Chain A
Amino acid sequence: MTEIRWHSRAGQGAVSGAKGLGDVVATTGKEVQAFALYGSAKRGAALRAYNRISDEQIFNHAKFMNPDYVLVIDPALAFTDNIEVNEKESTKYIITTHLSKEELITGIPALAGKEDRVFTVDCVQISLDTIGRSIPNSPMLGAFVKVSGMFELDYFLENMARVLAKFPQKIIDGNMAAITRAYNEVK
Chain B
Amino acid sequence: MAVKFDLNEREVWDGNYAASQALRQADVDVVVAYPITPSTPIVENYGSYVGNGYIDGEFVMVESEHAAMSGCIGASASGGRVSTATSSQGFALMAEVLYQASGMRLPIVLNVVNRALASPLNVRGDHADMYLGRDSGWIQFGAFNAQEAYDLALCAFRVAENHSVRLPVMVHQDGFITSHTAQNVYPLTDEAAKKFVGEIVPVDDMLDFSRPVTYGAQTEEDWHFEHKAKQHKAIMDSRSVIDDVFTEFKELTGREYKRVESYDMEDADVVIIGLGTTVETARVAARELRAETGIKAGVVAIRCFRPFPYDEVREALKNAKSIAVTDRSSPGGAMGAFYNEVSAAMYTSKNRPLVTGFVYGLGGRDFSIEEAKRIFTEQQAHADAGYITTDIQQFSGLRGPKLGFFQTDRS
Contact = CB atoms under 8 A, between A and B. Distances in A.
Contacts of B281: 59-62
A34 B11 CA distance: 13
A174 B161 CA distance: 50
Interface string A5-38: 0000000000000110011001100011111100
A167 to B, nearest CB: 16
A76 interface: no
A33 B184 CA distance: 7
Contacts of A57: 184
B278 interface: yes
A32 B222 CA distance: 57
B194 interface: no
A59 B367 CA distance: 13
B351 to A, nearest CB: 28
Interface size range on B against A: 20 to 34
Nearest to B287: A59
Contacts of A58: 183
Given A60-B280, A62-B368, A63-B366, A23 B12 contact: yes
A61 B181 contact: yes
25 contacts: A19-B12, A22-B12, A22-B182, A23-B12, A23-B182, A26-B11, A26-B12, A26-B184, A32-B183, A32-B184, A33-B181, A35-B180, A36-B180, A39-B123, A39-B176, A40-B123, A57-B184, A59-B283, A59-B284, A60-B280, A60-B281, A60-B284, A60-B369, A62-B368, A63-B366
Given A33-B181, A35-B181, 5 more contacts: A35-B182, A59-B283, A60-B284, A61-B181, A62-B281
B20 to A, nearest CB: 16
B366 A19 contact: no
B277 interface: yes
Contacts of B145: 61
Contact of A33 (B11, B183, B368): B183
Interface string B30-42: 0000000100000
A176 B366 CA distance: 36
A64 interface: yes
B410 interface: no
Residue among B12, B124, B181, B183 with the highest chain A CB neighbour number at 10 A:
B12
Contacts of B11: 26
A134 B369 CA distance: 37
B123 to A, nearest CB: 5
Nearest to A1: B284
B184 A34 contact: no
A16 to B, nearest CB: 11
Contacts of B184: 26, 31-32, 57
Contact of A32 (B124, B182, B280, B369): B182
A176 B321 CA distance: 58
B328 to A, nearest CB: 12
A168 B277 CA distance: 37
B177 interface: yes
Contacts of A39: 37, 123-124, 176
Given A19-B12, A39-B124, A62-B281, A31 B369 contact: no
Interface of B: 10-12, 37, 123-124, 145, 174, 176-178, 180-184, 277-278, 280-281, 283-284, 366-370
Contacts of B124: 39
A32 B281 CA distance: 15
Contacts of A36: 180
A156 B293 CA distance: 41
Given A58-B183, A59-B283, A61-B281, A34 B176 contact: no
Nearest to B365: A63
B299 to A, nearest CB: 10
Contact of B177 (A19, A26, A61): A61
A23 B368 CA distance: 25
A122 to B, nearest CB: 28
Question: When A and B form their complex, which 10 residue pairs have the shortest distance between CB atoms, in order from nearest?
Answer: A59-B280, A61-B277, A35-B181, A34-B182, A62-B368, A64-B368, A63-B366, A23-B12, A26-B12, A39-B123
Contacts of A26: 10-12, 184
A120 to B, nearest CB: 28
Contacts of B37: 39
A18 B183 CA distance: 11
A153 B353 CA distance: 56
A18 B283 CA distance: 25
Contacts of A27: 10
A64 B10 CA distance: 27
A182 B134 CA distance: 53
Contacts of B370: 64
A27 B184 CA distance: 10
A53 to B, nearest CB: 11
Nearest to A30: B184
Interface in A88-129: none
Residue among A26, A59, A64 with the highest chain B CB neighbour number at 10 A:
A59
B280 A61 contact: yes
A1 to B, nearest CB: 10
Interface string A133-150: 000000000000000000
Contacts of B280: 59-61
Nearest to B276: A61
